[in-house]
Chains A and B, each alone.
Chain A
Amino acid sequence: MVDRPLDETELVELARRGDLAAWETIVRAYQGIAFRTAYLFCGSAADAEEAAQDGFVKAYRALGRFRRGSPLKPWLLRIVANEARNRRRAAGRREALALRAAGEARPGDAVPSPEADLLAGESRRRLLEAVERLSDEHRDAIACRYFLELSEDETAAALGIRRGTVKSRVARALERLRAELGEREP
């Protein structure tokens, strides 16, 4: 006797057979991460929304090519990331990322002294500027691994590269960041 929401594999199977309600459940589950991924890649909220939307439409139409039993999230993110990168190429530029305003602490954060807050803010700003100066290739790898907190496998799928390439790309990106910030390797 079972009373439970359908799991992802079951929802994908239903969606493959044309059940849009099942696909809606999947879209709702992944639209947050899809939008964040697209935004980090293309830097525009409007383009990111379009990329996420187009990505889910294309993914539904490509469900016949989705390998049964594979994780869905990296496959979806790859489609959305491609859409976002196409828009970035078309626009020829990307808006720089910004930090939340000082004082917008998250629940549970310790309250630092004003001086420590200022120094930490300055350090974050320098780091973000250094990330923004990276090549798109390196910046995307950093965004996937640290900003979106994707695993190496998920990053590889989202970027359409091998896991080994993710490792080397991230390592080179970290080296460049250290050089930019005048820091020594640990």
Chain B
Amino acid sequence: MNELELRLAELGRGLELPAEPNVAPRVLERLERRRPFPWRPLAVAFAVLAVAIGTAFAVPPARSAILRFFHLGGERVVRVESLPPAVERSRSEGLGDPLTRDEAERRVGFELVLPSASRRVYVLGDSLASVVVRAYGRTVLLSEFPAQGQFLEKLVAGRTDVQHLRVDGQPALWIEGAPHVLQYFDRRRGFREEPILIRGNVLLWVRGPLTLRIEGRLTRAQAVALARDIG
């Protein structure tokens, strides 16, 4: 750069520019309002929309606008303006029936990949298997369910952050921040009882035909390390 060019660059750094606005929320709102082109066959788009509307209206107070949603395996994460009321549960309650590993595998119809040291496997409905373990000094819930179809729906709002990651080269989501709400569907797509309020962070990742999930008060690094151990 010659002297004049250096002065111009210096001039640029000294310009009075207005504060940079955050345009992301408005951009997403506009895109969500009018999708440009269905990227899947129309029938699928209609089905997804029907489920989205059905979900919001099945829980009356969740009638706030659905801002956007995305899928990972058998779970769908929906960002809404405000969360519906939800019951709190301890991690060892409301998880379903406590079964032996063999009984659990028969019920869900797939081979479990959760740590086999766990004596009890909780099965909810006909597809969600969970074990409770201790990791990093915390109680953590590990769950697995088929990646095909939709079995869990998570509603997030406000300060909850959803990040895309990869675990073992597979797509993953890390959900962190304010409490969020979880709802379970069985294979017949029935809604299960009341929505549950989750206060911990959640890592979701896909492993072959299954979606795996870690829920607990772990950091992202701890959750990913635990996911690696599970394999």
Contacts and interface: CB of A to CB of B under 8 A. Distances in A.
A21 B160 CA distance: 13
Given A3-B165, A57-B31, A186-B2, 9 more contacts: A31-B24, A35-B20, A36-B17, A100-B16, A106-B13, A131-B8, A146-B11, A149-B12, A186-B4
Interface in A129-186: 131, 142-143, 145-149, 174, 177-178, 183, 186
B50 interface: no
Interface of B: 2-5, 7-18, 20-24, 26-28, 30-32, 35-37, 39-40, 68, 70, 162-169, 221, 224, 228
Nearest to B170: A2
Contacts of A22: 164
B165 A99 contact: no
A123 B28 CA distance: 44
Interface string A30-41: 011011100100
B104 to A, nearest CB: 28
A31 to B, nearest CB: 5
5 contacts: A32-B20, A56-B27, A61-B37, A143-B12, A149-B9
B36 A61 contact: yes
B24 A98 contact: no
B12 A35 contact: no
A109 B20 CA distance: 23
Given A6-B165, A20-B31, A149-B9, A31 B23 contact: yes
Interface size class of A (residues with CB under 8 A): 35 or more
Given A1-B168, A3-B165, A174 B4 contact: yes
A145 B4 CA distance: 13
A125 B48 CA distance: 58
A2 B36 contact: no
Given A20-B32, A52-B23, A57-B27, A124 B14 contact: yes
Shortest beta-carbon contacts, A-B, top 10: A147-B12, A146-B8, A45-B18, A61-B36, A98-B16, A18-B39, A27-B24, A20-B68, A3-B224, A56-B27
A20 B29 CA distance: 10
